[in-house]
Amino acid sequence: MPVLASAGHWRQSGWFVQAISGKWRWHVGGVDCDGGTLPKRGTWTSVRCTWDGTYATVHQDGKQVAKKLCQPTTTPWLGDLVIGQYSADQGLQYQFVGELKNLSITNE
């Protein structure tokens, strides 16, 4: 269950991007949006996760792979932003081992 980036807690506040059960999980404000497929070891993939105020979406390699109507909690996450690990409960099961390239986190 590696977490690529996290500033939140599952089913509570904030957000995280996780590889789980062979797909991506974009968790935003207590809502899970799951889809896509994890890349084969040694290959690159592009993942973009967004929330536009109405829908949480996951895009992989430029294609939408998940979309969920969502009304997440907007309670702010007061903890740290963590790259390569879950921010709420750090442990080996959440550790991402690999390379991240061109990571961008924005609030647009």
On average, the pLDDT of the chain sits at 94
Tens digits of residue pLDDT in 14-56: 999 999 999 999 999 999 999 999 999 899 999 999 999 999 9
Distance linking the first and last C-alpha atoms of the chain:
28
- pLDDT for residue 108 is more than 80: no
What integer is the mean pLDDT of 68-74?
Answer: 91
pLDDT: which is higher, 30 or 107? 30
Burial string for 47-72 (b: 16+ CB within 10 Å, else e) reads bebebeeeebbbbbeeeebbebebeb
